[in-house]
Amino acid sequence: MPLIKQLLAGKRPLRLAILYSCVITVLFFIPSGELPKTDFSEADKLIHVLVYFVLANLWILYLYVKNGHHLYKRGTLILLFSILLYGIIIEIFQGLFTVSRSADILDVASNLVGSLLGIYFFKNVKHKLKA
């Protein structure tokens, strides 16, 4: 069975989205001293963009499959706002409950950019998933 059909089978998109969400939630609370160091100062923001790009794609894939291979504007907007709220809550919790991390509005902006890019990307490739 082709990989795309395997991904779209049954409850797999939901399981992938939930698993990824749980993993990144845990990773966002790892003390920053334990993370690899880079010389590239914007690496943190690019990582946020990439993480949220994948997060948005997994959740929109789930919605797409759940709705019979259709994307509805309302569902997409609710998804976008939910992911944005999740990112804001993570940043607040990092500031309140961790010692080596702090809340950063630029991380929230990077999360939003990644989410928007993810949704835009999915909308442009979703026709390939029907095959």
Tell me the per-residue pLDDT of 69-95, one tens digit each, with 9 for 90 and over: 899 999 999 999 999 999 999 999 998
CA dist 4 and 97 (Å) reads 39
What's the average model confidence in pLDDT over 91-110? 90
CA dist 114 and 41 (Å) reads 18
**pLDDT value at residue 2:** 60
Residue 72 has which token pair?
């509805």
Tell me the average pLDDT of the chain: 88
Tell me the per-residue pLDDT of 45-60, one tens digit each, with 9 for 90 and over: 999 999 999 999 999 9
